[in-house]
Amino acid sequence: MVVSPSPISERNIGDWLRLPPAGLQLLIETLAENHRVVGPQVADGAVVYRDLRGIAELPVGWLDEQDGGRYRLHQDPTAGFFDHVVGPHSLKNFLFPARETVASFVRTDGEWVQQTHAPEDRPLAVIGVRACDMAALRIQDKVFLGSGHVDPGYQARRQRLFTVAVNCRRAAATCFCHSMACGPAVEPGFDLALTERDGWFACQIGSPAGHALIQRLATADAGIVSCTVEEVDAAKQVSIDLEASMHARQPEAGAPRPRSLDTHGIRDLLYAQMEHPRWEEVATRCLSCTNCTLVCPTCFCSSVTEVADLSGDHVERERHWASCFTLDHARMHGGSVRSSTASRYRQWVTHKLAGWIDQFDSSGCTGCGRCITWCPVGIDLTEEVAALRHSDPP
Ligand code: SF4
Ligand code: SF4
């Protein structure tokens, strides 16, 4: 007996749809009616998030090669729309922008008056968010919304965020989301999630907002139909197979070393190694350039600068990203409490992988691998932690 699937207008949260490329195009266009839509695109030699008008701008046919201090793109006719993995941008670039005016003040008749800053008019929709970056979103939510202080700008942008997540079909050598329990399958929290198949996408509905969008698409003739049970199972198998292959990866001659991180007892391990000579050794290579903290999707440090115009009657208060790799980050009266590169690298790694657990009840690392790829000298925190783990405390 053949059972006709119910119309997509009757699909619910958790259900899967078969989306042809024309359906993804329609999805982007429909989102753009009331969102700023961004998605991955090839620009400046990398896959970065840019404003997205349609599927023609997606990096179809491009693959990335990543290793310590190395990122290269090459074309591959077998690569789909989303077979690249993460580039230097993440959701952090939009929800917690690198530079933002948080307040301004005007002096009128000798009185200072604060001007309020409304959030951007258009809510944001991001296409192509990977599992590690959805995990980073959950971590940043704890920082900006759940730690006793609510950041109003982050909150305003986060509440209206629409995410179209993507389940990865391949991993870079620098990816270790499987070690951090952050991927490669996207966890619930997305609005829609895509798994790319041969010439179409399996699309899972994840939220009321995702469901409402699908309802709108249902009225158009975009070839969107319900997935069969077999299609759903095959789509789920993509992440299962990728995770198994990531666990089984072995170094190969001439190929970048696949990364993993042993997280067993990592908090206590790092706290016990505060005086280990490895920190001084890595400091001989580290440039204190701050790249690792800037590309990290969870790093949240910021600093505030107030700038007055020449009249002295108008002041802008600007918040900008800061980094624990700078001397100023730990400056107190009398000087910096972390004056050496070794102490700053140690601060970053022990906060990310140990102190964060005390502060936020989760690791600060999702295994996205960006800090490895974008470190100009290829310093690799998986390698550094392994070195600390496999040597005795001094
Ligand atoms: S510490 Fe490195 S691997 Fe971990 S989330 Fe940050 S950038 Fe990604
Ligand atoms: S670890 Fe690498 S990216 Fe980070 S500050 Fe040092 S040199 Fe720069």
Instruction: Tell me, letter by letter, the H, E, C secondary structure of 240-255.
Output: HHHHHHHHHCCCCCCC
Are the CB atoms for 194 and 165 separated by under 8 Å? yes
Mean pLDDT, range 367-374, rounded to an integer: 98
Ligand 1 neighbourhood includes 298 CB (under 6 angstroms): yes
Instruction: Give pairs for 338-346: CB < 8 Å, separation 24+.
Output: 340/283, 341/283, 341/286, 341/288, 342/279, 342/280, 342/282, 342/283, 343/279, 344/286, 344/288, 345/279, 345/282, 345/283, 345/286, 345/379, 346/274, 346/279
DSSP letter string over 16-45? EEEE-HHHHHHHHHHHHTTSEEEEEEEETT
Question: Percent of the chain scored above 70 by pLDDT?
Answer: 96
pLDDT of residue 271: 97
Residue 31 has pLDDT above 70, yes or no: yes
Are the CB atoms for 218 and 171 separated by under 8 Å? no
pLDDT of residue 391: 82
Backbone angles phi, psi at 369, to 5 degrees: 80, 0
Q: How many Å lie between the centroid of ligand 1 and the Cα of residue 23?
A: 33
Q: Please state, in angstroms and as integers, the Cα–Cα distance from residue 166 to each residue in 4, 16, 183, 190, 270, following that order.
A: 28, 14, 11, 10, 33
Q: Output the residue whose Cα is nearest ligand 2's atom 4.
A: 292
Which amino acid does the sequence have at 249?
A: R
Ligand 1 neighbourhood includes 296 CB (under 6 angstroms): yes
Question: What's the pLDDT band for 43 if we cut at 50, 70, 90?
Answer: very high
Q: How many Å lie between the centroid of ligand 1 and the Cα of residue 353?
A: 10
Q: Which residues does residue 318 pair with via DSSP β-bridges, in sequence order? A: 101, 305
Q: In the chain, where are the structural domains located?
A: 8-98+109-248, 266-389
pLDDT of residue 393: 61
pLDDT in tens, 178-188: 999 999 999 99
Question: What's the pLDDT band for 56 if we cut at 50, 70, 90?
Answer: very high
Closest atom of ligand 2 relative to the 293 alpha carbon: 4
pLDDT of residue 2: 41
Half-sphere exposure of 83 (CA within 13 A, CB side): 17
Instruction: Compute, in degrees rounded to 10, the torsion defined by CA atoms 262, 263, 268, 274.
Output: 60
Residue 22 has pLDDT above 50, yes or no: yes
User: Which of 10-14, 243-247, 275-279, 375-379 is least confident?
Assistant: 10-14
Ligand closest to the CA atom of residue 351: 1
Q: How many Å lie between the centroid of ligand 1 and the Cα of residue 119?
A: 28
Instruction: Compute, in degrees rounded to 10, the torsion defined by CA atoms 18, 368, 78, 250.
Output: -120
Question: What's the pLDDT band for 1 if we cut at 50, 70, 90?
Answer: very low
Q: How many Å lie between the centroid of ligand 1 and the Cα of residue 349?
A: 10
Q: Output the residue whose Cα is nearest ligand 2's atom 8.
A: 289
pLDDT of residue 365: 98
pLDDT in tens, 218-257: 877 778 999 999 999 999 999 999 999 999 999 999 999 9
pLDDT of residue 280: 97
